[in-house]
Structure 1
């Protein structure tokens, strides 16, 4: 599958990978990375999973807002949280899993779930991960 790109960006990782440094081409992202304590590092810093969670949450929330606009629904004070987990796969490698927590207090649960499911079909991150990693979309009231 190919896309007709409307935007591209770049980032470069240097140093020791998960304990290295990342910088975006435009310089807005320029930070050191730390290996988390659970993975044998010092913790107390950004890591690839945190960056992925932030990107996925923002992208999915944007998709949710787009779906709501199309359906002429006011989301009110909505939010999306993304929990990204990393762990060992059966083949000895590592894999990711994501839980997206969608909160739309202004809507009944069933309507919020319908919008969340529709957003999961159009979100670029959801489309990129579909069939590759487990992604659970959970609609909560808080």
Structure 2
């Protein structure tokens, strides 16, 4: 099996000071935010947290993957298509972890086609690929969970040797 060369398309740079109660800034300066422990865990109002930033990035990236899947099929997504992402922080023993739920509403496509497009997007979305095997990701279509095969969530696809 032929291997493909990895080609870096973009690198984002950001720095943090003060941890969860500090500040983050991207190299471009577009992100320049105070951070806090989530308000529900005793943090301050008016500041974001890593989980919120991760949820925003994952939702945006997954929607782009859906746009790519639609384009490849000769389709176009409705302008009101939404991808909502919930990221949960949990504690398990001494460690902490994350899980995510992606809820997709493609508006104009039927359920079967939407489910198939969501599955395809989950295969190519960089966030889905990066988290595969490392955190639980639940896929939903208009609030209803769709079954995800173990190989779609449990580990990175095997690469040819």
Q: Which residue of 1 aligns with 2:106?
A: 104
- TM-score after normalising by structure 1: 0.92
Q: How does 1:18-57 map to 2 (within 5 A)?
A: 18-57=20-59
Q: How many residues align?
A: 138
Q: Which runs of 5+ in 1 are unaligned?
A: none
Aligned-pair RMSD on alpha carbons?
Answer: 1.4
Q: Which residue of 2 aligns with 1:86?
A: 89
Q: Deviations over 1:23-74 (max 9, x none)?
A: 0001110010111133232344200000000000000000000000001122
Q: Which residue of 1 aligns with 2:134?
A: 132
Q: Which residue of 1 aligns with 2:74?
A: 72
- TM-score after normalising by structure 2: 0.81
How far apart in 1 are the matches of 2:72 and 2:119?
14
Q: Which runs of 5+ in 2 are unaligned?
A: 144-161
How far apart in 1 are the matches of 2:106 and 2:43?
37
How far apart in 1 are the matches of 2:101 and 2:113?
19
